[in-house]
Structure 1
Amino acid sequence: MTSADAAAPGTAGESSITAKLSTPDRYLAVWILLAMAAGIGLGRLVPGLNHALAKVEVGGISLPIALGLLVMMYPVLAKVRYDRLDTVTGDRRLIATSLAVNWVLGPAVMFALAWIFLPDLPEYRTGLIIVGLARCIAMVVIWNDLARGDREAAAVLVALNSVFQVIAFGLLSWFYLDLLPGWLGLGDGERLDISMWEIALNVAIFLGIPLAAGFLTRRIGERKPGRERYETEFLPRIGPWALYGLLFTIVILFALQGKTITSQPWDVARIALPLFVYFAVMFFGTFALGQALGMSYERTTTLAFTAAGNNFELAIAVAIATFGVTSGQALSGVVGPLIEVPVLICLVHVALARRRRFTRTS
């Protein structure tokens, strides 16, 4: 998304990384807050807008949200140097750590927090657990790019998570929503009504399409004008579209649920608290783990963001399909990006500040 890369580590400009961002990126938090406010305002002020937007879907997938995410992800994935992916796939430590954090630690942390903070609200608790099971395959590429993470590593880890999502989501939902509560004496469990095909369709749309487009664009661009012209002329032209796609997606998301969010502020606050804790635990814990394992700043950052982010598109779709659009489970899914987007923007700045420490100690 950024239109200019940070200076190389060790340069004199390292102490002011944020100042090197383009003007739109430097004030990204402001644009996002404005987009959230605009979405909520539209949802409340335009009668029937949320219902009209909700009807524009195919197979349970919102077409406006899909459009925004595709526009958002394409420029970032076009930046990936796919000929370098073997340097990531050969890093078994990175891949093993990512899989363990995402598919063992992440769901377990969200399950524990949901029961600790929402023991008396089973619908919201179930919605949060679903959010924890849906590992991020979309917006993480944006946060990682802003924080100067490893683009190639992000592409590999996101693709890997997408494969595991298709295979493991149904199994883990049965374990955490049905089997484990019974084992722990926490009451009757619940089962999700979603097939592996529906999850695969979600992955294909939100990751497969922009990944294929980015790969083909890079291959064609490098073959004709050459890598230098492709990276210095073409990429800066398409770069701003990632920001436009992100803001459009946020407006649509909050327009869909703006009335619900503003009419139930206490419920939103109850759901938000465990989400804040979750993002903090997953990001800082994984960042510390990457440092302890001796990883570079770029791969540590990528590891942390892929662990902290969640696939809210899938979580919302599953909650609505199983429990209904007005359900508490669906509200939990919607509150997910309400909290995740501003929190992870703040964590981008935290990561950039830590990058300076990596540079000074290297």
Structure 2
Amino acid sequence: MPWVKGWRARILSPTCLSRWDNRPRSEGSERFSMPAAFDHPYLDLARMEMLRRCRLLPRGTAEGSFAGPHRSRFRGTAVEFADYRQYVPGDDIRLIDWKVVARADKYYIKLYEAERNLLSHLLIDSSGSMEYAGAVTRTESKLAYASRLAAALAYLVVDQGDQVGLSLCSDRLQDHLRAGAGWTHLAALVARLGQAKASGDTDLGHCMGEIFSRSSKRGVVVIFSDFLGIDESFWRGVDLFRRTHNDVLLFQVLHPEELELPELSVARFIDCEGSGGSFTAEVDVVRQSYAAAIKAHLDLVQAGAATRGCEYYLARTDFDPYPFLKSCLLGRVR
């Protein structure tokens, strides 16, 4: 249906109703050790505490460029000590350093040179339809909500000693930050999120091809989009990453009014991308056909993800982002 590609309803009648700390952490340091002086609208450090037990982990092996906490096919005979990290269920208990346990009263394991870090890349759709924030029930825009989720994920990745990159995409690659590690890198990434503007059409497939050409390591690719303007080129882009054994996570970010039309008598439906055309209709007249169209679209995206072994999550902009992200990460099967 013409209004499924990023519509914006407009009421026609009033009666229709810091600083960053780059010092290395000590052996017994807690997670989330970034100074509280850091402040950004997209990253609430106090609420990040509920994600304390969450990690973005690869399902397979990692291919990073420096020592990290993940299994690697490059594991060799090197035994040079690299770092510590907190024990998580499934780790080899023979690697626990009991001296550190005695001092910190927490379990920490030793990491060695042969272990590799995880590379994560966050891709955010910044096309025009991501500007939508509701006609009746106002929330933050889809782009802002996606950025909030991305900032939290980036924090987790950096905090676990891994690397993360960022791309903002519409019909072209609007911004690209190569994967890096450390709090200074995270500061730059979150700043890029804060500068993002929703505009232009959607061509995620083209952007994914360009990102893939710049990537030399496999890891985890996380895509945030409403997926309203995708076509076969998008799935070909997903296939590029899946064929090279990247984990791919799809977060479909939608406003609740896009899932179910609000209670209005008359509304104007505007194509936020493409031609920018619009039409006016009585909401109750189109409600049933719209519901069928959006359901078919959701089913299509979920089926495409399942066929390719991707993880799919529906992210409504009225969801509290932190418990939502916690449920997604704790529900993942390594």
Measured against the shorter chain, the TM-score band is under 0.3
Instruction: Compute the TM-score of the two structures, normalised by the length of structure 1.
Output: 0.26
Instruction: Compute the TM-score of the two structures, normalised by the length of structure 2.
Output: 0.28
Q: Per chain length, whose mean CA-contact separation is higher, i.e. which structure has more relative contact order (CA < 8 Å, sep 6+)?
A: 1
Pick the structure with more strand per residue.
2
Pick the structure with more helix per residue.
1
